[in-house]
Copies of this chain bind each other. A is one copy, B any other.
């Protein structure tokens, strides 16, 4: 198909498609003359992936490039593919973690028995986030809340992995979109579950409503 048809099929303007081509996010078409090229279904799929990552998941083009590079040259091990998808799906920390908090995060991960690369940037990110939580004077219930959150994360992580399809392009798409678009769903479920817990186990001044 011509670029005009690629545009009408995907609903993405020609100028945007040309931008993706220049940026190397979309492979070049098959040249039919010095100024014209044809495109096929792989281009349609790639444009839909870029739109899903940028529009639905709100990823920057720099993060989309990480995903696209991985598709062009997929890693041998599926576990490495997960790492790449996570890299795209994880925000850069606003501030850097202190060594003390990074160590606290590392100790926590070790105590959970989680198999994480020692240099994984998620460890420092967790340190930064824990530090912000504690610095704000917020209670972690002597750490028992953090352990409950980790128990919950294990359930979520196993469920996430179970939805990942075998083909590398589909797997990358699922992990990136499922992680980025899943986070707000989990945050909302958390608030709903807080309400349910409050109605169900609330203190005496908050009698639970009768179940229907």
Residues A196 and B115 in contact, CB atoms below 8 Å apart: yes
Q: How many interface residues does A have (CB within 8 Å)?
A: 90
A83 contacts across to B, CB distance below 8 A: 195
A151 contacts across to B, CB distance below 8 A: 152, 155
Tell me the number of copies of this protein. 2
The segment out of A8-16, A31-39, A198-206 that lies at the interface is A198-206
Q: Is A103 an interface residue (CB 8 A)?
A: no
Residues B90 and A153 in contact, CB atoms below 8 Å apart: no
Interface residues of A in 41-74 (CB under 8 A from B): 48, 52, 56-57
- Select one of B78, B116, B129, B189 contacting A184, CB under 8 A: B129
- Give a binary string over A162-204; 1 marks a CB under 8 Å from any B CB, 0 the rest: 1101100000011101110111111111111111111111110
With both beta carbons as reference points, the residue of chain B lying nearest to A48 in the complex is identified as B137
- Give a binary string over A75-97; 1 marks a CB under 8 Å from any B CB, 0 the rest: 01111001100100111000000
Q: Is A111 an interface residue (CB 8 A)?
A: no
Residues A181 and B52 in contact, CB atoms below 8 Å apart: no
Q: Is A109 an interface residue (CB 8 A)?
A: yes
Q: Is A154 an interface residue (CB 8 A)?
A: yes
Q: Is A148 an interface residue (CB 8 A)?
A: yes
CA distance A157 to B76 in the complex (A): 39
Residues B199 and A115 in contact, CB atoms below 8 Å apart: yes
Which A residues form the contact surface with B (CB < 8 A)?
48, 52, 56-57, 76-79, 82-83, 86, 89-91, 109, 112-116, 120, 122, 125-126, 129-130, 132-133, 135-141, 144-146, 148-163, 165-166, 173-175, 177-179, 181-203, 205-206, 208-209, 211
